A and B are shown apart, each in its own frame.
Chain A
Amino acid sequence: MSAAASWTRVSAVAAKDLTAERRAKANIVAVTSLGALTLLVFGFAIGPDVATLRTAAAGILWLSVLFSGVLVFHRSYQIELDGGALETLLLYPGERWEIFAGKLLANLCIVLLVEAIVIPVALVLYHVSVPDTWPALLAVIMLGTLGFVTLGTFYSAMASRTRSREVLLPLLLFPMLVPVLLAATEGSASYLVGNAMGDAGAWLRLLVVFDVIFLLGALLVFEHIIEA
């Protein structure tokens, strides 16, 4: 199987998912609104103390991305199940990992779009300014998002083969996300509110390791879980 043929299939799956998502505008609006509302509600729960809000900003930002992302991942396979398209998708020639990679690419684009909207909202609501080290912060966000979306796309595929997929997805996903969420939150907090312990770089490297492991693992195992 040539690399060009694989890329054609990966990009076809990604383009198809993104087109379907673009057409269903209500879904992307709902996902983004949930992210913004999560930030708002947690903000009220924490209270008006600016120092506390700043300290909590990174963690709550990642939680808002987490809750929004679950809706994105669920929708990713729902469009295959609606018209009985999953079986047709699996009957195309080629490798199964190409389907996973296409879906991962589409979900990555959607989650990054959500982040592009909720991050500025978080900066305003939690009284946080953009740090001078913003390129490093951006790297943490990108790596954290990649790990999060990799696991989300993988576990939503697994959940899609079951009847109680809506309930099962967060139950499977959230425990597995703990390492990525911890590294992303701590890394983001280090750059947003100061790197008191000098360990920001360590969290960044840890995210790289998690991403490589999760990505390779998901690509290798996807075939078995989607055919189960």
Chain B
Amino acid sequence: MSLAAPISSSVRESASQPAGSAISLVEITRRFGHKWALRGIELDVAYGDLVVIQGHNGGGKSTLLRVIATAVQPTGGNGHVLGKDLRREASEIRAESALLGTANGLYEDLSATENLLFAARMLGVRQPAEQVVKALAQVGLANDADERVRGYSSGMQRRLALARLLLQEPKLLLLDEPFNTLDADGTALVHQFMASTRERGGAVVVVLHDLARLSVAPSATYTMTMGRLA
């Protein structure tokens, strides 16, 4: 498996980047029942940025990523992601962004190849079979491609979830505790993926408890407390 060197700080200047912000959120709120998970979030992320969000459990970090990914709609406020309106152009945002949540989102009764082929067809990937083989090789699962995911270790499942993102080449990469259950090689894969996304001019937002696990300095670090970003 080939691992990229840590991305340099010149990435933001050298990559071809569209005008405007990758993420621009204004007064975003989200309520679940009686509980406010997000309270007046203001966030601006430029293309090429690597932004880290930290905070205590239950602070609203994962909810914020899910709102940006259009997995949940905000209760209030407005925003643009990749130049698209968060509410009205959710499908367009989904086509160009990728979220790796805390759950891997895999089908345990399917093999790794079948999981990725399904993802490739849903994503409209051209030559899906070839891309799936390539992605599996990239994450080091080529030899276990036909095994059912049920028999995979948690680290292998995380790698497979990462392989699903590799099919997409997103402009916006959203990662929620991406290093969970990954070994050193797996961690390097995540770094490589973040670097390649930024090299293409895309932005990366990572929810992370342990900043020491990042191999490069982030463009900005925010802390979320009780649904507020600071």
Residues of A within 8 A of B (CB): 5, 8-9, 11-13, 15-16, 19-20, 23-24, 79, 82-85, 87-95, 227
Contact = CB atoms under 8 A, between A and B. Distances in A.
Contact of B122 (A9, A20, A23, A24): A9
Contact of B101 (A13, A19, A84, A227): A84
Contacts of A16: 107, 110, 114, 118
A5 B148 CA distance: 27
A83 B103 contact: yes
A94 B122 contact: yes
B98 to A, nearest CB: 8
Contacts of A8: 121, 124
A85 B110 CA distance: 12
Interface residues of B, number: 31
Given A89-B122, A227-B73, 5 more contacts: A11-B121, A19-B114, A88-B101, A89-B105, A94-B91
B73 A92 contact: no
A83 B122 contact: no
B123 A84 contact: no
Contacts of B110: 16, 19-20, 23
B94 A83 contact: no
Most B C-beta atoms less than 10 A away, residue of A91, A95, A227? A91
B85 interface: no
A111 B118 CA distance: 23
Interface in B70-86: 70-73
A211 B190 CA distance: 48
Contacts of A12: 118, 121-122
Contact of B107 (A20, A91, A227): A20
A9 B121 CA distance: 6
Contacts, number: 78
Nearest to A83: B106
Contact of B91 (A11, A13, A88, A95): A95
13 contacts: A12-B118, A12-B121, A12-B122, A15-B118, A16-B110, A16-B114, A23-B109, A23-B110, A24-B109, A83-B105, A84-B102, A87-B103, A95-B91
B73 A20 contact: no
A83 B121 contact: no
B94 A91 contact: yes
Contacts of A85: 103, 105-107
Nearest to B118: A16
Contacts of A79: 107, 109
Contact of A92 (B66, B104, B114, B123): B123
Nearest to A81: B103
Contacts of A94: 91, 122, 124
Interface in B17-63: none
Contact of A91 (B99, B102, B114, B148): B99
